[in-house]
Amino acid sequence: MNKKILVGALSFLMSLSAFALDLNQAKSQGLIGEQINGYIGQVKESTEAKALAEEINKKRKKAYIDLAKKNNLKLQDVEILAGKKLIKKAASGEFVQSETGNWVKK
């Protein structure tokens, strides 16, 4: 596994979430948060947040699949690594999923 490629690709994925003001707003309002599986999850019920999470997760899954193929990794391994990095990168006050699956404020 080429760690430089993996780190670079994950950095790119994390920057995807920063481009959308709506994503940042949804995070700051506590509607969505980062999950341990590398995807966005809903913290509170919201049709708008659900659609946004689905859109972001679709893009993330495609990127994770591409990354796994390029580095001969299992998709689940890429998702978990991305989840850890995205949770670590989450801003103070945003919701993240704990190892037990509960939502906690960072």
Q: Is residue 61 part of a domain?
A: yes
Residue 31 within a domain: yes
Condensed to tens digits (0 to 9), the pLDDT of residues 44-66 reads 998 888 989 999 999 999 999 99
Give the global pTM: 0.79
Domain interval for residue 64: 3-99
Number of domains in the chain: 1
The owner of tokens 């390029």 is 70
Is residue 104 a part of any domain in this protein?
no
As a whole number of angstroms, the distance between CA 47 and CA 13 comes to 24
Per-residue pLDDT of 2-42, as tens digits, reads 666 666 666 666 555 544 448 888 999 999 999 999 999 99
Q: How far apart are CA 88 and CA 98, in angstroms?
A: 11
Q: Is residue 105 part of a domain?
A: no
